[in-house]
Structure 1
Amino acid sequence: MSTSISDSKHQKSTRKALLSKKRQSKIIVAKNVVTEDEGLRRKLREIDEMTNDEVNRMLFSMLNDMELPEHSKPSIFTRPLNERKDLLKIWLQKRWDSSSQGQSTEEEFVDQLEQNMTSPDQLIHVLERLKVSLSTYYISWVQKFADKGGHRKLNKVLSKWSSPHVKDEKTKKVLLYCVRCIKTFMNNKFGLNQMLEEEEALITLLGVLDAENENILVDVLKIAAPICLVANGHDKVLEALTEQGNRQCRGRFDPVLRALLDTSLPSTQSACLLFINSVISPPDEFTYRIHLRNEFIRGGLDEFIQKISQTASDDLAVQLKIYNDLKEADFDEFQSKWHGVQSDMLDVTEVFNILVGVTENTEAEKPFLSILQHLLLVRDDYFIRPLYFKLIEQCITQIVLQKGGVDPDFHYTKKFDIDVDPLLDNMVVKAQVEEARERAFNYEKQLKEEQVARHDLESKLCIAEQSLARMKEDKEYEKGFYQQQIVQLQKGGSVLVPQPPSRSNEIRIDIPEPPPNLPEVEALLPRPPKQTSILLHGNFSIPAPPPNLPEVDDKLGISSNRGKSRRSQIDLPKKKIREKLSTKRLNWVKVKENEMNETAFWAKLREDKLENPDIIADLKKLFGQEGRRPVDKGDVTTTTHSMTGSFVGSRRVQEPQVLEPKTCQNLSILLMSLKHPHELIKKMILSMDESLSLQWLEQLVKYLPSKKFIDSLNRVKDKFNELNQAEQFILVITKIDRLETRLETMIFRKKFKDEIVDLVPDLRLVKKACNEVKNSPKFAKILEYILMMGNVMNAGTNNAGSYGFSLEFLTRLEDTKGVSDHSTTVLNFLVSTLEKHDPELLKFPRELESVNGSSRVSYQDLKQRIRAIQIGIEAIRAELKNYKHGAKDPNDLYGEVMTQFLTSAEGESQNVRKLHKEMEEDVAHLLDWYAMDSQKNSMEEMFRYIRDFVRSFEKAKKQNEEMKEKKKREEKAKKRLEEMKKKQTNTKQRVSRTGVVNLDDMGDDKSDNVLDNLLDSLRTGKAFDTRFVRPRKKPLQMDQLRPTHTPYTTAINHHDRNYKPDHSLRTLSNGSPLLPLNNNHLDNQPTQAQLMLDRIKTLPPNSESTFL
């Protein structure tokens, strides 16, 4: 009973507590409603009091919040001020109404973020309302939201939904609204401090940077860029970027650079460049600024700036100007450190001279010389050398620019931890370039072959047309003759048809073989049947159908009857010659080659691809037949030889009987490469087998013994089996009549096609170059300029009033240099003159594209090669005459193959000679055109003069551009130096660290619009104004650049991404402190040093004060 009473009391107390809590929440909501109405009226009054710039700034935030397209934004800013204020009021009222309808307390927002963490639709709705509340409520509401852990919940949402390369649209929207909530939360001093105190906040925020999601990237950069101007914010941003780069295995600035290079939206480009300027500008040390700038340049920033500088929008143009001004200011400071000399730090020679001056006659000279010697050992490869130097450059950068600004412990033997992965990855580009070059080379080679093939086909077509015309004439004659005979038969009587007069069996017609590549022409040549007459019973006979011509012989008397002594014209692969097996035979009827055409089934089979050692072994096992010849026990050598060939036994090799051992050895190696019996090789030579390679034939000719040795072998041929393998082979193949001459003509036939392929493009290239040089109006005009300049300069000398000059002089224009400026030559002056008065002439190299290639073509070489072709053709013609009168071997196809080759080769050779004659005429005309003596000047020398002039002209043009840029930089540097001196004389106030804002100086925690104000100062360039009046340090003199005799060592840190200059003290080898190395403390004055040491002792531990 007592238990039930106590339970009922507990329920009543719980119900009362819940009711009181509800009443309290209602009271809070009511208070908030009243407060909100007052807040809305206050906001509307503030809009009425805003200036034009403040309205535009708020209007910019409104347009970003509404996510309007870029092209519609500019028109809104052109409206009158009152209309823009009305737009802001309407927008603020709508946001206020939406916030009031879904009104939630700070704690409810935190709970809703946690509850809807995995539901994108609900989360988007919560984030939309939260952004409105953060931007409209007082700072006190924001502080309460932070006290409940709201900013940590936002970071948790961002961390949970962020991932590399987000594709889902809802996820993108969640991240976008979450980033905007964080930006609104940080847009006041309290929120900014809260987020900076969170260790993972900036790391999580910068982790959503993605070049593919430009809206999110722009909003994140609008947060990160102002933070860089806050004290310690620059370090935190770089640390967060470095951490994200390590986590995602990429460069820390890669997303920003990718977005900058890939996007075409001016707003994104402007945001990226604004962030880059905010990263580069804050550090005091110019070495650190140069280091950061170089990191962006390596990612392609300079190429982007050069490309976009002419078409940049207004906002982007402001950022471009800021970037270039900061860069030039750092360059001037860098120059002022080194002697104050206006030297060009982009010029290799001047930088090298500075380094020589620094190290000369010091202990650093030998290591410096060793470095240069090692650089000379870099592999001399066009693609590899740049990769080596990039790798070395990155190593030096990471070693020299160290965090802490102290020297390494030179006695520490641990290797430097150098990050070379990006460069190693880029080496893949080299392989791709090599592949592209190889592909281009193959395409060029194919093009040459196709051009020569076309030339061949045209020649063969011309020959075939002539043959068809002669055949048509013969057929017309036969037709008329037989028509007369038919008329006589129709009149009646017994008529025995006689043979056609003068065109019968004794007729010989020179019909060359149709080219094998023109099957359609071959089809037009009918095969006439044999001439017969049909005798009937009685005293008369009826003539047979019109007879054909008898078998037609070619010029050399070789019968052209197809199907008897000639091979089939279809292109069949050579059958593999297999070793004879002792197996049963398959007695099939063999289909011969001349019985097939291209469409035959057998012509398509490639049964040799199916061969397998296991299959062959099984065949031997199942169908092998025993019965080998017994071997005598007295046999010392186990050989299997016959007159068709012999093979070396496994026990002993026969010693040479007649030939020299070296010759036998070379011939044996040659035979092993072919692995065929001797008789088969002889048959292959007789039948002109295409499987005999060019290299094999050349080696055979090279190793053939002289006639004396061959005669000696013939005297011992009765002892054939006792001879060496090479000697047996020579005995077998020397049975071929005129063997050496035959082999040489076979070699010529195999080389002929390649010779034509190489000759024709060279001939056409020279013809094209002659035409380009003679018909180039720009080149002629430039020669006219040179003649004018020379006549002016040579006035009063023997060369005055010249009508022209030798083209060789074009290569010596660089030898004449200016009197006052030795770096300017006559060629530089010519280029400058053309730039001023006739800039179109600078493009003249485009009209002489073939000159470079033609300068490598030798006239004598062309002449000798064409002569060699003609000698080879004459040799074949003479050999065919000898062949016709000699004995015939049934397997000998030399006459047939060579006759067909001779027909096509003569046509191609005639065309080549014609082309060569045209080239000679063009060259002679060109030499006459420039009044050059053909006895003293060769074709290649003339083209070489023009080629070298074109190269020197392009080089001079590049030198002029570099000289202009150098002069501009010197003028700007001089102008800025004068301005700085003027400003320094007018004010003695030393400027503090540029662009850095101390949050303690920004009022209390209720200061709002902090990020917006900083972002506006970055956008307009006001944040960078003090950068350009940075006080200069006194320039070092060259003798002060020499190190003192006091050695010093420091510790080194190898993480270049976290590099930050630190002016901590250097120490001597014995551990005693040493002053920082600067121009004020190199004179080794003990009093000054003692004063500085006393000052150091008064500093607290871990101080980062500077003494520069």
Structure 2
Amino acid sequence: MWYELLERFTSMRMKKDKEKPHAAGQRHSNAAHYEVPTQGTMLHDHPDEYVLELFEQMLVDMNLNEEKQRPLRAKDIVIKREMVSQYLHTSKAGQNQKESSKSAMMYIQELRTEPRDTQLLGCLESLRVSLNNNPVSWVQNFGDEGLVLLLNIMRKIQEERDEYPNMGMKCQHEIVRCLKAFMNNKYGLKAMLTSAEGIPLLVRAINPRVPHMMVDVVKLLSAICILEHPDNLHERVLEAITEEAEKQDNERFQPLLLGMNKPNIALKNGCMQLINALISRGEELDYRIHIRSELLRLGLRDLLTDIRTIENEELRVQLSVFDEQAEDDSDELQARLNDVRIEMEYPSTTREVFQILMNTVKDSKAETHFLSLMQHLLLVRNDYMVRPQYYKLIDECIAQIVLHRNGADPDFKCRNLSLDVEGLIDNMVDKTKVQSSEAKAIELEKKLNAELTARHELQAELKKMEGDYEQRVQELATEKEILGSEKQARESENQTLLGQINTFKEQNWMKGFKRHFFLSTTLFLSLFSPPVVQIGYEDLSEKSFWTKANEDRYENNELFAKLTLAFSSQTKTSKGKNTYIMLRARTVVCVCVLKSSTAACQ
């Protein structure tokens, strides 16, 4: 039902060259597709009134619109009897095939148990298939009670969205699909519109972060807006959108613009459908201009510039509808303002708008009031925080005075308009200060988090350095212990060596020497002080003693070692004793050298 309305709205101002073919999954076909049954299956025994009653029930069950029902009602009673007979036959066969499937009451009982997560998702998917495939009578059995259960579950999911983010969104999307199938007939649509929570819950389900669900939601709301209904359903939808925006503390059309900013083409098309439905159903020019101006102020113009570059037929149709409606409203406004044209696509600047207003009130009775209005605006308090709030309040007051939904002018006899402006301004200023403080608090919180993060990193690094320091101290202590033990070992070895040296000194080491001991003349000369000047080899004559002595053959390493042990390593001795020992050693060496030299000369 609502699919056809939405399709008709989508196809506005489009030329159709041929009719759309029937879908393969259509639930019921037209009367021309019915085959004439045999005589045995006709309702010959029943009166015409009973046949007509069954015929009307058949039309309801087939979910046909008035345009398709009209030619069927014009058929002869005989053809109607045949159609009813075949319908009863096919319905009975279909019922036999679906005996194993769940009934409407079984779904109601299962929803009463309040299933969760995957169990709820499976139940909703099965319910959606049943609502799509079964006739209207099955939907009537599901009825208002089933609808209330679906809406209650949807409300709980929306209230507990933080507890089950992924599964909750899947279940909520499946409920939207169930409502979409439930509303695809007069009974389900009427039940949904009668419900007080139906439209607000659908509006609350507009979520740009879930594009596929938002596509179904905006299409449902678009179909509701364009329905012919005495309650002006587009106003109910707009009211629900406004209330939800006030709860979320943001602009009411911001979710639609966020959806249009997504790359999903179907979502862009659905959002444009809802925008066109809200604007086109407004009977008053002021209302349509107000909605369109609010959308353009929020950034719709820039989005439309990007969307126009997309090659999509359905999207192009919605853009054409939007542009044509804007052009019609511009023409109507031009006629109202006496040839003063205001471009809706490119709003004028402040100076141009002021000039237009001046032209409209110039040389008229309204000019003095306009002048008074300007003079009162000059009296607005000169405060950076307060002035914007004054103008915002004045804008809201003018909008409420000028834009009346009933189309009637306000009561001009009322001379005094009592408003507690100071209280409102103070509240608005306080709110602005709170918002500014909250922004600063958020910024400070970010800085605090950054400082805390840096502090934690430094603490971790300091802890690591302390651990490395303690480990190094332990290593140094271990090395100190090792060095101490090695020092003790060396001291014990030194004591042992000193004892051996003292023992060796006490022995008469000269007894083992041979009679003839030779010592290098270089060592002999170095023992005397002061040192003599060295004579080069080239300065010696051939008859010199040193050229014939060949003193190197008298070198003896054992002698040098014993002399070293005896005379060069004495400790803890007085200076006189040391001098005596050195002179004695020199005397001994000299005597030995002289004896050896004498023997060599002989």
Give the alignment's TM-score, normalised by structure 2: 0.50
Q: Which of the pair has the greater relative contact order for Cα pairs under 8 Å at 6+ separation?
A: 1
Give the alignment's TM-score, normalised by structure 1: 0.28
Greater Rg over alpha carbons, structure:
2
